[in-house]
Amino acid sequence: MGFGKLGRTVERRDRLDFVQFGWVIPWFSDAHWKYTVCCISSSCRVKASSDVHLHQSVRNTSRFRVYSITTMNSMHGELFMYDNEKRLVGFLSRANDSTQCSNIAQQFVIFIGGLSDGFLPLEYSSKLCKSLNEKNVHFISVLLSSSYTGYGLSSISQDVNELNLMLNYVYTHFTSNNQQKPKVILFGHSTGCQDIIAFLHSNTEISGCILQGPVSDREYLATFASTKSKIQLAQSLVSQGKSKHILPWNPDAEDGLAPITASRYLSLALKSNPPGEDDMFSTDLSQHELLQIVQHLKQIPTLLVFSENDEYVPTNIDWRTFATRLHSAMGTDTTQLLILNQANHAVSFPMHAQSQLISKSVDFIQESFSDH
């Protein structure tokens, strides 16, 4: 899930300003401009920041604007390219004492965001990163072709292919001196959960996974008045062999952040048999369908995290019963279920829920690494 987040947090992302220290990507939200910043120093060390307040200085030129910055959420590390052909990048924040890791299997958590997410998509991600670095765990945020507004032209299958490239990069560049391969845990938020479940059909080397906010795009999109007619149009295009054609796009619509192909829209919005690639968490899926989707996770330590007040779950949906069913389908011996009281989809509030998520995740990650 992640589609519903689009109409709330992002109303405009149509400028990319180059400033003296790097790139500033602004968007308008909650009645003021917010920015994502990637600051690059002369030593090629990188500081990535999100949700920062910028105040325009008196200096403006036709070439660039200069801003003063107060950072609210940041990570320090290295930007690297894991796919030269598509120029896809990841951001690595190394363990605090990474020098001692040369002769042991290094430990990595790879964070995968939801639709429209990119670097530092969530308030808790930088805090989780810091906590893991202190435990000598490296943290990688990955950019996929589907990141930011690219999701409409992409698919779960394409995400999986790119995650395989990321894993190959990690295994190639971080194998220890005595040939011990790195240990990896995948952390998915929203649609990142679907990516992980699909990825694990073909990759069994992962030490564990965390699925935070696994809720249905289809059930959320069903609350929009325009969804039925858009499904009909998308089906018509697919029947004409035009699955990659882009649906008419209104950027001011509540679900209109990015252009989207007919095939991706149907994957998100249409109830079908078998379910579409994106449709893994709809509460009307039968137990047989759920088993077909997630039963391979029974072999993998998993932390399944739901938010009590997830704003992208319609009020008529019995998500608690579904959480129990999903937990059962994944295997109660290997899967832990965590429900965050009063938390929203992004776990940006309340703070006690965010702290609980970070604490539980760190404990789960350490335990999974030690057992694998």
Q: Give the separation between CA 254 and CA 251, rounded to whole angstroms.
A: 8
Whether the full predicted model's pTM is greater than 0.75, yes or no, is yes
Contact in structure between 191 and 345 (CB atoms under 8 Å):
no
pLDDT tens profile 174-183: 987 777 899 9
**Residue 207 predicted with pLDDT over 70:** yes
Phi, psi (degrees; rounded to nearest 5) at 279: -90, 80
- Give me the mean pLDDT over the 199-204 stretch: 92
Q: Give the separation between CA 211 and CA 205, rounded to whole angstroms.
A: 17
Rama region for 331: left / alpha / beta (φ>0; ψ in -120 to 50; rest): left
Q: Give the separation between CA 312 and CA 242, rounded to whole angstroms.
A: 30
- Quote the distance between the C-alpha of residue 43 and its chain's center: 29
Q: Any bridge partners for residue 23, and if so which?
A: 18, 38
Name which of 222, 206, 309, 323 is nearest 268 in CA terms: 222
pLDDT tens profile 265-314: 999 999 999 999 999 999 999 999 999 999 999 999 999 999 999 999 99
Secondary structure (3-state) at 206:
coil
pLDDT-based confidence at 213, cuts 50/70/90?
very high
Q: Give the separation between CA 45 and CA 12, rounded to whole angstroms.
A: 29
Residue-level pLDDT at 177: 72
pLDDT tens profile 35-91: 444 443 333 333 444 444 433 333 333 333 333 333 457 889 999 999 999 999 999
- Give me the mean pLDDT over the 323-336 stretch: 97
Report the 10 Å Cβ neighbour count for 68.
9
- Quote the distance between the C-alpha of residue 252 and its chain's center: 24
Contact in structure between 237 and 265 (CB atoms under 8 Å):
no
Residue-level pLDDT at 121: 85
Q: Give the separation between CA 121 and CA 191, rounded to whole angstroms.
A: 12
What tokens appear for 344 in the block? 């929203």
Q: List the domain boundaries for the chain.
A: 77-220+272-371
pLDDT-based confidence at 371, cuts 50/70/90?
confident
Strands 107-112 and 88-93: unpaired
Q: Which CATH fold would you assign to the domain 77-220+272-371?
A: Rossmann fold (3.40.50)
Contact in structure between 133 and 139 (CB atoms under 8 Å):
yes
Q: Any bridge partners for residue 48, and if so which?
A: 38, 75
Residue-level pLDDT at 63: 35
- Give me the mean pLDDT over the 355-369 stretch: 98
Name which of 35, 133, 29 is nearest 75 in CA terms: 133
pLDDT tens profile 300-323: 999 999 999 999 999 999 999 999
Name which of 53, 69, 120 is nearest 93 in CA terms: 120
What tokens appear for 153 in the block? 């032209």
Residue-level pLDDT at 38: 46
Which of 112-121, 239-248, 302-311 has the least mean pLDDT?
Answer: 112-121
Q: Which helix (H) or strand (E) holds 55?
A: strand 46-60
Rama region for 323: left / alpha / beta (φ>0; ψ in -120 to 50; rest): alpha
Contact in structure between 8 and 28 (CB atoms under 8 Å):
no
Q: Which helix (H) or strand (E) holds 266?
A: helix 262-269
- Give me the mean pLDDT over the 136-146 stretch: 97
pLDDT-based confidence at 264, cuts 50/70/90?
very high
Name which of 173, 271, 179, 203 is nearest 231 in CA terms: 271
Residue-level pLDDT at 105: 86
